[in-house]
Structure 1
């Protein structure tokens, strides 16, 4: 126990062990080429293979309703259903699931874009394999073991020594973040708090000053820790009366917003949302899948409202490992498929548009056992985000052995 009479040397010895948390600096890294940072990147991974066909509905595609007689979302002009249960038309062919209604503000502002029939080259339809390859940003197992975000961070040193440069929101560090740049797993901002009464806190800060004297990384950590000591998600008041859902996603997005506003050096926030493996009782306009869509929409719309003044320096990416089979199954769900969709949100997104080439859903247009074909590789989208919004042109290091196409989904 640290008492008022404890010497600083003794206090240092007593405090060192309990203070060895993941966010404490341990190694100093010599900076490679330094360049200015770009946008703050927020990546939301929908784990379980999200059904892009019921999220952004091809209501102009007759085969969609023929193959999904129960799960298909009613078209915008279906007078047999309630208006709140119909697809929200976007462009005459595609429309939002009605649970995506909270995202309409961002869509109409031109700050939200969709890339449909999107995915990776892997056709294993295995969650584990597809997620691993996608997070590594490679086509097969022969690629580098590090993650694509980890390689982005390593290839663009912004001179940022913050322990919160890259944060995995939650208890798990995503594979996409793996690499040579340290990453913090942050379940709660409270994890950065030092506990104790004011006298003990003063003692601990004094001890930490002694431990990290002359260490710039340590000083940055102490400065950030002091900032975060006063941050509390429970009393945080979002801008524009934004209301985050009381879910893990809502808390992750709220804390991401708090870190950005606190200017603690956050460049990347990675967030997982599970539960998208809807083999059974998926639901059409109510039920399991609609609830997940609503949670995503409410979280993103709250983040959009809260961070409205920061949107020009923000890019949010939503993605999933693959999509679902076009035909519904006998359990009123959908099986593993191939193509899905991605969403981008930010002030410099070419929004209010559905990007990508639509392959169609007729028998001769589907692939494998009856899946939506992939016409846009997810690496095309992420490469453009890296080049135009993250200020990182070395996509050959981020996505090795891949030549991306620029799709003009974001502006420089």
Structure 2
């Protein structure tokens, strides 16, 4: 007989893994008589956004006093000094300037609720998108075959059991590498049609192959008596919620982009109180080899969507902001020198953004040395001076109270950098 816990951790996930366009009738009937829930103790929520394609951190947050950078980017360099033909950088601290298309971030930076880490990256020197993303999401930059992702391990280290299938949710069409592993996690492409996939979670995949009704028959009495009830309650809540006509709070307006839509749905899950603690979304199009642009063009559109989407989400959170931290990540940065087609090529370090009321904000953390050739990695790239694990582990510790760094990031024994409040 399948144990109640086994059902929750595997069969409960398999419900979503079979790709249904709604909730099976027998499940709807099973939950119909259960009281409306106030089930889940409110906990902290971490929202991670992966910028796939490698963001140019030197254009997002520019060390504008650096004459070497100016010389290396004759048509891409931007300044905080207003020019006739383009918008100026937003001067953050006299040394770094925020791209003008990220103006939405300025207020929370000034309010010291957003911190920026510059010179962040992986100790693995690969410039392969696939490998670098894999290493960052697994959290093991020198081990290719790690079966689990760092966010899945974080879920397992939260220090409490949960019966909700919505504890870790990715608003993507398939499960991201970050969520691979033994702990429950979901990929939901769209709340409106409930199109959910479970690739990457072997336990769930195995259970999905079995007859779900049989599993339910074996475990229903125990499920409805104890912790399984919360799973069914969460499903019931999502089924009954009019996600299509969701109205964001506080006048928040989400971009109609993929990222904007994902963050809007994460906001809905948070407000529904279905037990969400770790959420994941993606932003694509950061591989700017050609015609990168300055205050207009591909890069400007991307950073505008990123910042406007995040700030719409943050505004929508309202009184829930104390519970939420948002962190961006990208696999690597771009070359210091622009190429012959008005773009930048695969580099090493980039920057990331961390937003939350427990963030040591209003600062550009990390170290960026003068961009002279002798200070560049391989004579061409912004050097990685902050291991991404230093930042990810600190955010997990301070916000989620996940303090077992040895399990979260095996083979790493570095130190944190103080991006979170103590």
Which of residues 407, 410, 414 in structure 2 aligns to 1:404? Answer: 414
SS in structure 2 of the partner of residue 171 of structure 1: coil
> 1 CA distance for matches of 2:101 and 2:137?
28
Residue of structure 2 equivalent to 1:64? 69
Q: TM-score, normalised by structure 1?
A: 0.85
Which of residues 243, 262, 271 in structure 2 aligns to 1:252? Answer: 262
> Residues 85-124 of structure 1: matches in 2 within 5 Å?
85-124=87-126
Residue of structure 2 equivalent to 1:40? 45
> 1 CA distance for matches of 2:163 and 2:421?
28
Residue of structure 2 equivalent to 1:366? 376
Which of residues 334, 337, 349 in structure 1 aligns to 2:344? Answer: 334
The one-character-per-residue Cα deviations of 1:304-348 (angstroms, maximum 9, x if unpaired) are 111131121111110100000011100111000001011100111
The one-character-per-residue Cα deviations of 1:8-58 (angstroms, maximum 9, x if unpaired) are xxxxxxxx9xx9432899xxxxxxxxxx98520100000001111111111
Q: 1:142 to 1:170 in 2, by over 3 A?
A: closer
> 1 CA distance for matches of 2:192 and 2:81?
49
Is 1:228 aligned with 2:230?
A: no
> 2 CA distance for matches of 1:384 and 1:131?
20
Residue of structure 1 equivalent to 2:355? 345
SS in structure 2 of the partner of residue 392 of structure 1: coil
The one-character-per-residue Cα deviations of 1:216-252 (angstroms, maximum 9, x if unpaired) are 4542222112211232343211111000000110111
Q: TM-score, normalised by structure 2?
A: 0.83
Tell me the CA shift for residue 192 of structure 1. Answer: 4.2
Q: 1:142 to 1:184 in 2, by over 3 A?
A: closer
Which of residues 177, 180, 187 in structure 1 aligns to 2:179? Answer: 177
> 2 CA distance for matches of 1:387 and 1:211?
36
> 1 CA distance for matches of 2:217 and 2:357?
40
> 2 CA distance for matches of 1:379 and 1:210?
43
Unmatched 5+ residue regions in structure 2? 1-10, 25-40, 196-215
Moved over 3 A (4+): 78-82, 208-211
8 Å CA contact 1:227, 1:262 repeated in 2: yes
Which of residues 402, 406, 409 in structure 2 aligns to 1:392? Answer: 402
Tell me the CA shift for residue 299 of structure 1. Answer: 0.1
Aligned residues: 369
Instruction: Output the aligned Cα RMSD.
Output: 2.3
> 2 CA distance for matches of 1:296 and 1:397?
31
> 2 CA distance for matches of 1:41 and 1:99?
25
Q: 1:138 to 1:269 in 2, by over 3 A?
A: same
> 2 CA distance for matches of 1:232 and 1:58?
46
